[in-house]
């Protein structure tokens, strides 16, 4: 696999055979390759956080401003203004 096709995120190198990591939202260990947590944060997230936090946030963003949604240029303040805020890490 070429370097172009390798992505490193949250200590995980895709294409390396490693198939778990730490969720960038809740901090728990996920299996497989995880999910893209945008717009909540960067890194990778578990399936639960993807379903309960990330996907609803994306829908809300898409409904609020479809053009900006495609650009992915929202600031943390803009996300908070439309009610998107990452949940606190679970203990």
Contact 25, 37 (CB under 8 A): yes
Nearest one of 33, 1, 2 to 10, comparing CA atoms: 33
* pLDDT tens digit at each of 91 positions of the chain: 344 434 444 454 445 555 789 999 999 999 888 999 999 998 999 999 999 999 999 999 888 888 777 777 777 788 888 888 767 766 6
Looking at the DSSP bridge assignments, the partners of residue 22 are 29
């Amino acid at each position: 696999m070429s370097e172009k096709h390798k992505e490193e995120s949250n200590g995980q190198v895709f294409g390396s055979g490693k198939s778990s990591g730490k969720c960038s939202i809740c901090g728990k260990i996920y299996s497989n390759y995880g999910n893209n947590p945008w717009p909540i944060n960067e890194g990778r997230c578990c399936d639960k956080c993807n379903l309960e936090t990330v996907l609803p946030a994306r829908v809300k963003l898409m409904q609020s401003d479809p053009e900006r949604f495609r650009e992915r240029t929202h600031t943390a303040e803009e996300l908070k203004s439309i009610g998107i805020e990452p949940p606190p890490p679970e203990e």
